[in-house]
Amino acid sequence: MYTGGCNIDKMADMDNLNPEIDERLATLRFICNNNRHLKLNVELCKKCENKNCLYFCPANVYKYENDTLDVEFENCLECGTCRICCPYNAIEWEYPKDSSGVEYRFG
């Protein structure tokens, strides 16, 4: 049911103290579910000039490509930062169902 996030090849090498966000996320296990638990109100996003969600999300879930915001909800850490920080309240936020989503080994 889940695709393990623990990709050994991508494990960060700490000789580099600043791993890319993808390397950081590769240390986590994400249980997948096709249900999008984060949905955008695209019309509101169009109005947003700053699009600071591209910065404040700790998992880089929000990406802006070809004039559209893409939500990589599979990498969500469920912290709720986007829910609190989106200036237009444009994110419809639910917890992932079927016990999917992020899991920590240490926490």
**Which chain residues interact with other proteins by CB under 8 A?**
11-15, 17-19, 21, 23-25, 27-28, 31, 50, 52, 55-60, 77-81, 83-85, 87, 93-99, 101-107
Nearest-approach distance from CB 77 to other proteins, in angstroms: 5
Residue 46 vs 55, nearer CB to other proteins: 55
Nearest to 20 by CA among 10, 30, 9, 28: 10
Nearest-approach distance from CB 97 to other proteins, in angstroms: 5
Residue 24 vs 36, nearer CB to other proteins: 24
Tokens describing residue 24: 């950081």
Tokens describing residue 21: 């966000």
What is d(CA 69, CA 52) in angstroms, rounded to the nearest whole number?
12
DSSP letter for 94, please. Answer: -
Nearest-approach distance from CB 46 to other proteins, in angstroms: 19
Q: Given the structure tokens 């986007």, which residue do they identify? A: 82
